[in-house]
Amino acid sequence: MTGFSLSRTLAVAERDLRRFRRNSTLLVPMVLMPIIYLVILGKSMGGDLHGLPVAVVVQDRGAAAVEVANRLVTMAESRDLFRLAGEPDPKTAVDRLRAGHYKGVVVIPPGFSEHYSRGEPALLGVVVDNTDNTSSAVIERELRGALLPGVTRLRGASTPPAFPGIEVERVDVYGHKDFMQYLVPGVIALALFFVAMLAGGIILVDDRAKGIHEGYFVTPLSALDLVLGLTLSASTLAMIIGTVVLVASITIARLPLIGGIRTILLSETCILLLALGLILFIFTLMARVSNPLTPRALFGILNVVTFFPSGALYPTESYPAWLNTVSMIFPMRYAVHALRNLLLKGVGVTSVASDFLVMASFAGVMLVLASTLFKRTL
């Protein structure tokens, strides 16, 4: 039959709209997704940093040194930009920076006030954790903006204005790191999320809708047996994909392996823990879902809720309190933090042990929930 008929067209449209009516719950993600993207992305990207942990080492007790220290305190109290802590010497401060306690170290060296009062360059050392390019750039910029005008009133009105003043000298504790290297941990975490969503969500529900899972019902398999078996299968796939992405990312980003084979082994451990947590989390959500459209509809929402607040793209110090709470619930934040420390800093197991513990605990909780909720009946 050829030609156009308005009545036939309307009949087709009405029939198709009835299908959406039967699946009205799927309309909710369609409405929520752009709103959630707006809220999460708007609050997790490009916000003002606050509460950056910065150590201050004062090795000079002159008037200029005291004034600089007072300005740092003022910046911390008035703008909540820094969270200051005193350290006895530069070595201790830098060691604690390498351990992840600080984002930067400000060193006021001996003779600082004397050089300043004579109109000579007064060097102010700023050591930054440059594996976080955003935070290190903010620390340097804010210090230059606050201190480069100089503590002019200490020189007196008769002092010529052409004196060099304070010079902020930045030191990158990890050498040069570019933004692509900063993104590597996030890329690995995102790849594992895709595997979890595919194996733990889409394929699982598709198999259930096709009746493949019905064969399990005539066996003595428990819900825990099923969950563990499916998790083992999905985790094997995740480890293969994660390892390929890890190697490819290291090669493309030209990332030096500071810790050698230890870094690789710890990174693989991190990948395994994150994969287990994400897969079991998706299993828990899909434990009683039978509509194949549901995991596809939730894909975007789960991606933005777990990935973007993880600190993969922008420092968590910019997040409001509620978004930090959301971020701390999911294991991706801890995986990104651990992988960044491992791949960019070459740290040992003690520096990432707390991240590993949180991810393992999350996976354990999700295993209990998934095996409890898993649908073993038609």
The pLDDT value given to residue 239: 96
Instruction: Count CA within 13 A, CB hemisphere, residue 307.
Output: 21
Percent of the chain exceeding pLDDT 70 equals: 90
The pLDDT value given to residue 24: 67
pLDDT at 322 over 60: yes
pLDDT at 71 over 50: yes
The pLDDT value given to residue 334: 96
Instruction: Tell me the C-alpha distance between 70 and 171, whole Å.
Output: 22
The whole-number average pLDDT for the span 328-351 is 93
Q: What is the 3-state secondary structure (H, E, C) of 302-359?
A: HHHHHCHHHCCCCCHHHCCHHHHHHHHHCCHHHHHHHHHHHHHHCCCHHHHHHHHHHH
Q: Which residue has the higher pLDDT, 84 or 177?
A: 84
pLDDT at 1 over 70: no
pLDDT at 246 over 80: yes
The pLDDT value given to residue 163: 33
Spatial CA neighbour of 259 closest among 354, 331, 338: 338
Highest mean pLDDT among 56-70, 287-301, 326-340: 326-340
Beta carbons of 23 and 74 less than 8 angstroms apart: no
The whole-number average pLDDT for the span 357-378 is 86
The pLDDT value given to residue 84: 92
pLDDT at 185 over 90: yes
The whole-number average pLDDT for the span 75-89 is 87
List, for residues 260-272, the tens digit of each pLDDT value: 899 999 999 999 9
pLDDT at 315 over 80: yes
Q: Which residue has the higher pLDDT, 153 or 63?
A: 63
**What domains are defined for the chain?**
52-172 (3.40.1710), 178-373 (no CATH)
pLDDT at 11 over 50: yes
The pLDDT value given to residue 132: 87
List, for residues 130-170, the tens digit of each pLDDT value: 888 888 988 988 888 877 654 444 444 433 333 357 888 89
Beta carbons of 226 and 374 less than 8 angstroms apart: yes
Q: What is the CA radius of gyration of the chain?
A: 27
CB burial of 156-192 (b: ≥16 within 10 Å; e: otherwise) equals: eeeeeeebebbebebeebbeebeeebbbbbbbbbbbb
Model confidence at 106, pLDDT cuts 50, 70, 90, reads: very high
**Mean pLDDT score across all residues of the chain:** 85
* Phi/psi at 61 (5° precision): -110, 15
The pLDDT value given to residue 217: 66
Give the Cα-Cα-Cα angle 45, 267, 284 (nearest 5 degrees).
70
Taking each helix axis from N to C end, the angle separating 133-147 and 63-79, rounded to the nearest 10 degrees, works out to 120
Q: Are strands 82-86 and 104-108 parallel, antiparallel or unpaired?
A: unpaired
The whole-number average pLDDT for the span 68-95 is 88
Instruction: Count CA within 13 A, CB hemisphere, residue 119.
Output: 7
Report how far apart, in Å, the C-alpha atoms of 369 and of each of 332, 364, 374 are. Answer: 19, 9, 8
List, for residues 247-260, the tens digit of each pLDDT value: 999 999 999 888 88
* Phi/psi at 123 (5° precision): -80, 130
Instruction: Tell me the C-alpha distance between 276 and 271, whole Å.
Output: 9
The backbone region for 110, taken as left when phi is positive above 0, alpha when psi lies in -120 to 50, beta otherwise, is beta
Model confidence at 41, pLDDT cuts 50, 70, 90, reads: confident
The whole-number average pLDDT for the span 290-306 is 84
The pLDDT value given to residue 320: 87
Instruction: Tell me the C-alpha distance between 118 and 364, whole Å.
Output: 64
Alpha-helix residue ranges (DSSP H) falling in the chain? 6-22, 27-44, 63-79, 90-98, 112-117, 133-147, 179-197, 203-210, 223-252, 261-285, 293-306, 321-329, 332-340, 349-373
List, for residues 114-131, the tens digit of each pLDDT value: 888 887 888 889 999 988
Q: Are strands 122-128 and 104-108 parallel, antiparallel or unpaired?
A: antiparallel
